[in-house]
Chains A and B, each alone.
Chain A
Amino acid sequence: MDIFVSFLLAIISSMLIDNVVLSRFYGICPFLGVSKKVNSAFGMGLAVVFVIVLSTVICWPIYTYILVPANVAFLDTITYILVIACLVQVVGLFIKKYSPSLYKSLGVYLPLITTNCAVLGVVQSNSDLQLDFLMSLANALGTSVGFLIVIVIFSCIRSRFESSNGPKAFKGLPIALMTAALMAIAFMGLKGMI
């Protein structure tokens, strides 16, 4: 029971309190780039959830049972990036085979996930902080779901002010960044939750 509670707490803390985008700053590029439409933002978020969880499940055993016993723990970054790149390719092929419609809607965003810092950031911080498997999984789940929530909320807000009449200089990215700042202030309020 204790394990379950700490697992849940870890998920909530990495999802809402220490949110990936708004306080840890991983994955800003897709956050700003793929948030113009709610649908594509949702697709991107789901793909990121899938890749982050899967890459954590694969990378954790590689680090603990291969790299550390072989005394080459410093090769972690290279290993992780290769695993993530391969994983994204495999996931792409898999989705293409079994669900062409989903592949079509994700198409452009799938290769982008390789260079999403959130994926490498989560896997790397798991091994930097020496988390055990359950906590790594909680970190991965919480972080990726946090990314999904924030990118969907952000795209909803953004689709509204895209059509509104704001200051000319702020059109496009600057106003999006200001919105992100307001969202970050709002998420700061969740700090006292746990």
Chain B
Amino acid sequence: MERIKNKKLQNLFKGIIKENPLFVSVLGTCPALATTTSIEGAIGMGVLFSIVLICSNILISLLRKLISEEITTPAYIVVIAAFVTIVKLFSNAFLFELYSTLGVFISLIVVNCIVLGRAEAYASKNNVLDSLLDAIGMGIGYTLALLSISCIREILGSGMISFGKILTFIPRFDIPILKYVNSVGEVVYDYSIPLFVQPSGAFIVFGAILAIISAITSFKNSRKKIKEKIMLKEAK
């Protein structure tokens, strides 16, 4: 019983760090670069993406015995496209600011490699509960990845964190960090670098994060090797 529970938990958490879809598998890069100019946009994108991923994973897992092998990919694409259309209409009706900020990138969830990849690699082979947990983990992992990129970009690029601009149900507030505008409207200090909210900043931030991750993994691997060597010496 304990072991089964552990396995389920592992299933849920693997998508967050160990198999993070954006930073480890480097999938779904287009929205990760395009929608991360603001923290709110990134959260919105992550949530919409997670909804599509969870729904499509559940449905594909339910239908996995009905869909014959030759037509898997077209069938999956139709299922995913249907959920994307639902999400698009929903956000158009209730979250119009978010809908107009993300624009065509909501439709582009259809061709996001992560959704199709999880459908092919996981949901088509596992039961509903496992697929659901996998989708939740991957969704959270992707949202957190988007959030980390957008935090760096928004803070460095605009000098402040502002909420309530896109997700209009939150009351509007700004947190000044690198830039401070007083109540009269004068800029007291401004150390922001506007490059980071521009397209090139997205490439720089994403590249830097990938470099840091590869440095950490190579450091860990080298430490493992040294430990193994010491173990071998002691055994001798």
Please list the residues of chain A having a beta carbon within 8 angstroms of any beta carbon in chain B.
Answer: 22-29, 32, 74-75, 77-78, 81-82, 85, 114-117, 119-121, 124-125, 128, 167-178, 180-182, 184-185, 188
Contact = CB atoms under 8 A, between A and B. Distances in A.
B198 to A, nearest CB: 7
B110 A85 contact: no
B204 interface: yes
Contacts of A119: 111
B77 A85 contact: yes
B223 to A, nearest CB: 15
A85 B198 CA distance: 33
A175 B204 CA distance: 9
Nearest to B212: A169
A124 B112 CA distance: 15
A23 B30 CA distance: 11
Given A77-B81, A169-B214, A184-B199, A178 B204 contact: yes
B110 A77 contact: yes
Chain B interface bracket (under 10, 10 to 19, 20 to 34, 35 or more):
35 or more
B118 interface: no
A75 B110 CA distance: 13
Main secondary structure of the interface of A (DSSP, over half): helix
A36 to B, nearest CB: 14
Contacts of A29: 27, 29-30, 113
Contacts of B33: 25, 28
A121 B206 contact: no
B200 A181 contact: yes
B208 interface: yes
B210 A81 contact: no
Interface in B189-214: 195, 198-204, 206-208, 210-212, 214
Residue in B27, B82, B199 with the greatest tally of chain A CB atoms within 10 Å: B199
A74 B111 contact: no
A25 B30 contact: yes
Contact of A170 (B30, B202, B211): B211
Given A28-B30, A81-B110, A125 B210 contact: no
A23 B214 contact: no
B199 A22 contact: yes
Given A74-B85, A78-B85, A82-B78, A177 B207 contact: yes
A149 to B, nearest CB: 16
Contacts of B31: 25
Interface in B60-85: 73-74, 77-78, 81-82, 84-85
